[in-house]
Structure formats: structure tokens, C-alpha cells
Structure 1
């Protein structure tokens, strides 16, 4: 938590499935938008100490919570979908059986109301760590003709939800409006000078690159947070003199099609980790930004 924080983190040395093997229940792989465990673990180790509280307002299957309790932190999560909330609870129980010393809890609720959902935690959290949804569907799991021997591409485990009120189903402006409410609510749960860390990457919509990290920075500032840092979390592995590709089937497929059209598109090889802080008690936003710079 002191000294210089590296601007690039090698969080993709193992594939996502390998990072979860044995540490999470096998059914966790069904979730289409899981946070990479190495990113969550690195954020928690960097910005918190044992015994402190970590919150994830959109916790999914509980990656943030599991990595927190394994490091001796306490954790609380909110998840809109009952099925994912139940799986997050099961993953926390699995972590406890493996010797995790932190405590965790999950509430199935709408995170836009998080101050009312977790009223007993107001002003207590050291860290909020989360990631926004990327739409109602993601790449999920894929089996191509080469793998299956059948014509066409088979997709599964690619939906967050079929509930039309879920933020993942909303347009980008509505999603961001909801995310602003979530961040503003989380700020009430943070102690003075607490950290909000958001993992996010750009995505393509009908061929157009959407700068979701830039939109999230604006959303955080509108929620009253102070943007202090931007860290590159690698999704690729770093080998000797080369990068180890971890791109999904659809990322590579879309990149190849774009190149065939003469557009030099590359598959995403990192996530942005956006760091915000709440101003210390009695400090202005400018003073909070200055203090964050001094800590680095």
C-alpha cells in the first residue's frame, strides 16, 4: 500500500480456467463475465490489509469475495441474480473448507440500493472492487466446427440473465446511469480515503469500438469519486521474448474478419484497472488526488 505501484500487472500467466481449478466450484465456469482471479487477488493485496473489509456490489459468482477471504480479509457482496448469488455463497463455503480465514456474506438484491442493502457497513470498507456488465450476452463458451464435427458454431454459458430489468440488458446510457448510482452508493460504505477499483475493457458493438473504460472514468467522477490511477492488467501470458495468447475464439474470429476487410483490428490483451478514491474526511477532491500521488 506504500511506495510505487507498477503500471502493468502480469495477471494472465495462467488461463482463467487454471486460475479457478480447485479454488472455485466447477459450476462457476457457467458465468459469462467472471473477473480474473489473479486481478482480484492482486488488487486486494495491493490496496488492503488483513482484517479489512472488501465489497463487490456486482459480485457474480463471488470472485472478489473468495480472493478476499483467502487473504484474511472480510468480504460482502451484492448480486442481482439469485442463481449467481447462491453460487457465490457456495464458493465462499468452499473457500472456508480450504482454510480461508476471512468471513464473507452475499445478499441477493439490486446494487443500485446498496446503502439500504448493507446499512451496517456504512463507512467501514477499505476497498470496493467490481466490474460492470458488458451487455446481456458475452462470448461464453464456444465449440467450432473443427472441434465438434458439426456445421456452425455452438455457443453456451453466454448469458448473464434473462431478466429484462437486469442492467446487463439495458442500453449503454442506461447501464452507465445505473452504474453511477451503484458507485455513489458504494462511496457511502467506504471509509474516508477508501479505494474503488474497477476492472473494465473496451468492446465492439456492430464493429465500432466502445471506450467503456473512458465511460467508467466519467461515471466514477460523476458519482463523486476521485480518479487516481489506471493500471494495465494483462490477459495474455508473458513468456520468454513473447506474449502467450489467451484471446477467445470470437475475439480472434472478429479480428481476422476485420483484417480481411482491410481494418487492422487486434484482439484485446489486457483489462484496464481504474482506481478511484474517496476524499479523506474534511479534504477536498483536489487534496485527495494530491495525497494519492504522494502515496505512489
Structure 2
């Protein structure tokens, strides 16, 4: 039977710094050889170094890690490479297939953790995985940012001076996908997902969410703050907040690895006189269940 950590033990295993150097290598190099080439089709992948850092810090070998919106399976792959067990859920069948291929690839490379995978609406995760209630050490996930993201581009430099072309930038054309909901509806659904996922946690388990601010029609939206409020309405209390770098560190300076479109939006905002910066980190939010905290008193 896995050891059930006390809250004090959990605190001792937390990070020593509030800024995590997870962007030392570009994302494509973090995935190269570790994930199938087809995985690049997903437009909003979690950085593997973020997933592995969180899993290593808050779980032990043999523990269970869950991602209710697993995409191409980054959380699950990093978990089984670290000798943890993993369970995931994904709405899009095409991404479920990519996750399954990545998990099989991980086992072929020597990963030893076990995994479970389900296709369906993450709002039902507590029902789908009812046999896992009270067993997970960690839930690690990220909300969708809308029905499409910037994805990949072919710039004018790549196509002989033509216009910029996007590819791999849509999550889904299925209107049932939560990514198609307006922001408030998305947050409400994400709250239900967090609440359901929390039912799968063991005592003193952790819910970790990676999220960054977004711009909607040029307006900067504090999505991390909205997620914190949403979590609180669903019985989860913010315990810690970290900056997981998407940039590298070289000689004491940040190496900006923002996407082409992030840089383009930043440049356009500055041209309008707005003091905009390109996002260089993910907010990593750690939550405990309010019931666990009350039990410590």
C-alpha cells in the first residue's frame, strides 16, 4: 500500500524556488524522440519539463497521477517514465489515439508505470473512474484556451514571400468540445472538472493547474486569477503559485522562446502604445481540498 503523506510531509517536498527553470530546452527538443512525431498536431501541448517537475516534486514512485483533459498525454507519459501510474481522459478521439501511441512508445523506451485511458467528457471523470476515488496523489491538467490556438506557421521566409499560413491550430470542430464555450461557460465547466477530479484524490493530494493570461480582442485577461476563483467555488484552496518558465536561462538572462504569433501580437500592441510583453512562463497553481485543510486544524 502506498504511503499516505501528511500535509507537513507534503510541504517539505515542495519546490525551493518560486520560479522553475522548465524552459532550458525548446519544447520541440523536449519532445523529440520521447513523443511520436504525430503529436505535434495538437495545438496546445503542456511542456514535458513542467509535467515531470511537478510529478517528481509531489508524488513518489508507485503513486497515481491523473489528467482529466490529457490532450496528447504529456502528463501521463511523464508519469509512467517516472515510475508512477497514470489515468487520463480526453474528449477528442483523435487525441486519445495520439495519447495511446505516446504511452506505448514510452513503454517501448523503458517506462514502467501502468496507465488507463478513457475517451469522454471530463466533467464525468469521477463517474468514469469511480474505482479510483481516494487513490490519486496528484491531478495535473490545463484548461483549453478556446476552440483554436496559434498552432504552427509557415512564414513568408518559408514560402517565398507569401502570406503567413497557419496549421495545427484547432482543437476541434466538434461543438460539444468545451473549448467552443464562451469564457464564463468554459470556467464553469472547468470548475466541475476540478471538483470531479478532486474526488479521486487521496487525503492531502494535490491538484495542479498550468495556465497563462490570454488576450481576447486585444484585452489582457487574467485567466490564472479566474481559475483560482473557480477552484475556490468548487472546494479547492490555493496553496502555492509558481512561475514555470517557457524561456531558457543563459548567462543570467532570459532567452525568449515565445511563438511567432505571441511576438506578433506583442509588437502590434506596442505599436498601439500598449506596454505589452510576450508571455515567457506558465502560472503553476497548486490547490488542496478545503476539507483536507480543515482536517489539519
SS at match of 1:115: helix
Residue 284 (structure 1) aligned with residue 294 (structure 2): yes
Question: Which residue does 1:105 correspond to in 2?
Answer: 116
What is the count of residue pairs matched by the alignment?
A: 286
The match for 1:46 among 57, 80, 97 is: 57
User: Deviation at 1:146?
Assistant: 1.9
User: Deviation at 1:215?
Assistant: 0.5
User: Deviation at 1:4?
Assistant: 5.4
Say if 1:89 and 1:105, in contact at 8 Å, map to a contact too.
no
Question: Which residue does 1:234 correspond to in 2?
Answer: 245
Distance 2:251 2:33 in 1: 28
Say if 2:13 and 2:58, in contact at 8 Å, map to a contact too.
no
Write out aligned runs for 1:44-83 (5 A).
44-83=55-94
Distance 2:189 2:279 in 1: 26
Residue 256 (structure 1) aligned with residue 250 (structure 2): no
Distance 2:205 2:13 in 1: 17
RMSD after superposition: 1.3
User: Deviation at 1:241?
Assistant: 3.0
Residue 92 (structure 1) aligned with residue 92 (structure 2): no
Distance 1:144 1:58 in 2: 31
Distance 1:238 1:232 in 2: 14
Distance 2:130 2:111 in 1: 25
- Please list every run of 5 or more consecutive structure 2 residues that lacks an aligned counterpart in the other structure: 1-9
Distance 1:32 1:261 in 2: 28
Residue 163 (structure 1) aligned with residue 174 (structure 2): yes
User: Deviation at 1:25?
Assistant: 0.5
Distance 2:206 2:141 in 1: 11
Moved over 6 A (4+): none
Say if 2:245 and 2:281, in contact at 8 Å, map to a contact too.
yes
TM-score, reference length from structure 1: 0.94
Say if 2:235 and 2:290, in contact at 8 Å, map to a contact too.
no
Distance 2:50 2:131 in 1: 28
Question: Which residue does 1:292 correspond to in 2?
Answer: none
Say if 1:85 and 1:108, in contact at 8 Å, map to a contact too.
yes
SS at match of 2:158: helix
Say if 2:14 and 2:57, in contact at 8 Å, map to a contact too.
no
Residue 130 (structure 1) aligned with residue 168 (structure 2): no
